[in-house]
A = this chain, B = another copy of it.
């Protein structure tokens, strides 16, 4: 029997997500209508409901998907070794990952407040899991006597805030290459945590 007759949701589905991501990043979740998203995809608004039960779920799916991707990428890349090396690896990874996905990063910070409480908790838990990765490195560094941090929790948040700030100004093809940016930030991070 025709199990997948007429189907090309595997084409439209991703296009809906891409359009929503771009528009949410540019104008904000509340300012974007389902008709605008549909217009970008070249489809009527009603067709979107083949891909999301509602607008709120679409946002949640984008944010959760981004966090899953972030954690998976870090898990795949991270290595054992001494804390200073791991800290450098984290620093470079975070910058590179963020710079490659400015829109996803943007809405992950901006649109949390538009999630329902349950959905917020899910995304927030993933964010904390990512922060814990850095905190573990800092903690190990202090234990090993390689780093000097009065409060690893605060240092974690300070470092992440500093690194994520790259996204507010970095543009590919600008004055500095990504490698230069990574190096400058790594120097600052290393010194900030007494490494």
Contacts and interface: CB of A to CB of B under 8 A. Distances in A.
Interface string A169-182: 10000001000010
Contact of A155 (B31, B158, B188, B189): B188
A188 B157 contact: no
Contact of A30 (B28, B150, B158, B160): B28
A20 interface: no
Given A151-B176, A151-B184, 4 more contacts: A27-B114, A110-B110, A157-B165, A191-B194
19 contacts: A26-B113, A28-B30, A28-B113, A29-B31, A30-B31, A110-B110, A150-B187, A154-B176, A154-B185, A155-B184, A155-B188, A158-B185, A159-B162, A161-B164, A161-B168, A162-B162, A162-B192, A189-B192, A192-B192
Nearest 9 pairs of A and B residues by beta carbon:
A161-B165, A30-B31, A30-B30, A192-B192, A162-B162, A188-B192, A191-B191, A158-B162, A161-B162
